Structure 1
Amino acid sequence: MHTTTTTRTLAIAAALTLGLTLAGCSTGNTGSAADSSSSTSAASVHNDQDVMFAQMMLPHHKQAVEMSDMLLAKGSGVDPDVATLAKQIKAEQSPEIRQLTGWLEGWGEPTESEHSGTGHSMSGMMSDSDMSDLDQASAKLYLEQMVQHHKGAVDMAKTEVDKGKNTDAVAMAKSIVSSQTEQITQMQDMLASL
């Protein structure tokens, strides 16, 4: 049991360090072991809002990665700027998926809840029909859908910033608000130029 807890704690600390590095907080040293252990102890303090944020952001991020994969699978016919953005979204959200999963496991909470199931509509999530349309469509539809998807993520993240207790989850939420708001503007500019 102690080994599992230590392994899980180290995984959470590693995910936090990676997440902060990718968020642009540092391009050099990612911190000392003492920094990681203080982050790990802070990670154990959480409330119901933190759990709901992680449980709902997980499928949201997974869908954004799936949408990006669908666009990138189209190959050389995709506008290079849109392909670069899709790769950036994957690079940002894939580590956050691992981080969110690590938090939930560390908190002893399920990675899915009634909020993230098919019976509950989350803001910005694409339907099966939307995803099918995207599979057959162009970069324009990807950008339109991703703008809506990001707006939903920003709304969820703002709620976490206002009501969350876990300092690391709130920090991730602030990073999501900042980076995805910037990407929304970028995508709207791309759409205007298509």
Structure 2
Amino acid sequence: MRALNDNRITRKLALTGAVAAAGLLLAACGGSGDSDGMEHGGKTSATASSGAPAGAFNDADVMFAQMMIPHHEQALQMAKLADGRAEDAEIKQIVAAVEKAQDPEIQKMKSWLKAWGKPESTPGGHGGHAMAGMLSDADMTDLAAAKGKEFDRKFAELMIAHHEGAVEMAKTEQKDGKDPEAKKVADDVVRTQAAEIAQLKKILDRL
């Protein structure tokens, strides 16, 4: 009887030990899995965080910023010439709108290029990609020499061409770009400058 009891106790202890061992094994596997998961997650997170800036933009985004900065800067130069020369109230309104919209966009695009580790301009240009709508030095000189209604007409004509160039570049960014913020600015350029082109054409019709 005692031997039987001993056997039962032995079996019970063995069973308890097996359960405990299985529990430890499971915990070890679970711990290893969790550890792996955390490490993997950390690696993924690190890769995502270090790779995010590189993956968030492409060459089209860079070109858009590098070309649109000087394009916007010239629009601001044109707007400055209106001071003391423009006569038409609507032309003055558009001048104010250009100054309000384009200077902040220039600062945004400069900050992108800095974050991306890209220069604001490239010495070799963009391989045949001309900045559409850019005025020549002669155009700027003619605009500076005009005054009153003559200035208003010339400004409207030149700004229409200038805006059309910006819209063209922005549409390329909408199609080929990757960076969400750059694409949003492209959307804004298309929307606002297309509206200003329509307004400038109406102004020209009545001048």
Give the TM-score, by structure 1 length. 0.73
Give ranges in structure 1 of 5+ residues lacking alignment: 1-40
Aligned equivalent of 1:115, options 120, 125, 133: 125
Percent of residue pairs identical: 41
**Residue of structure 1 equivalent to 2:87:** 78
Q: Deviating runs (4+, > 4 A) in structure 1?
A: 41-44
Q: Distance in 1 between matches of 2:92 and 2:71?
A: 20
**Residue of structure 1 equivalent to 2:161:** 148
Q: How does 1:47-58 map to 2 (within 5 A)?
A: 47-58=58-69
Letter in 2 for 1:171: K
Letter in 1 for 2:98: I
Q: Distance in 2 between matches of 1:62 and 1:116?
A: 18
CA deviations 1:15-60 (Å, max 9, x no partner) are: xxxxxxxxxxxxxxxxxxxxxxxxxx77971000000000000000
Give the TM-score, by structure 2 length. 0.69
Larger Rg: 2
Is the counterpart of residue 96 in structure 1 residue 105 in structure 2?
Answer: yes
Q: Distance in 1 between matches of 2:84 and 2:55?
A: 39
Secondary structure of the corresponding residue to residue 111 of structure 1: coil
**Residue of structure 1 equivalent to 2:22:** none
Is the counterpart of residue 192 in structure 1 residue 202 in structure 2?
Answer: no
CA deviations 1:140-176 (Å, max 9, x no partner) are: 1000000000000000000000000000000110110
Q: Distance in 1 between matches of 2:126 and 2:73?
A: 12
Q: Distance in 1 between matches of 2:78 and 2:54?
A: 30
Is the counterpart of residue 165 in structure 1 residue 178 in structure 2?
Answer: yes
Question: Residue 115 of structure 1: CA displacement?
Answer: 2.9
Contact (CA 8 Å) 2:71, 2:134: kept in 1 or not? yes
Work out the number of aligned pairs and report it: 151
Contact (CA 8 Å) 1:42, 1:167: kept in 2 or not? no
Q: How does 1:174-185 map to 2 (within 5 A)?
A: 174-185=187-198
Secondary structure of the corresponding residue to residue 188 of structure 1: helix
Is the counterpart of residue 124 in structure 1 residue 133 in structure 2?
Answer: yes
Secondary structure of the corresponding residue to residue 154 of structure 2: helix
Q: Distance in 2 between matches of 1:78 and 1:92?
A: 22
Q: Distance in 2 between matches of 1:171 and 1:149?
A: 20
Secondary structure of the corresponding residue to residue 65 of structure 1: helix
Q: Distance in 2 between matches of 1:54 and 1:90?
A: 18
Contact (CA 8 Å) 1:68, 1:86: kept in 2 or not? yes
Question: Residue 71 of structure 1: CA displacement?
Answer: 1.3
**Residue of structure 2 equivalent to 1:64:** 75
Contact (CA 8 Å) 1:116, 1:122: kept in 2 or not? no
Letter in 2 for 1:55: Q
Letter in 2 for 1:164: G
Cα 1:153–1:135 change in 2 (3 A) is: same
Cα 1:83–1:142 change in 2 (3 A) is: same
Question: Could you say which structure has the higher helix fraction?
Answer: 2
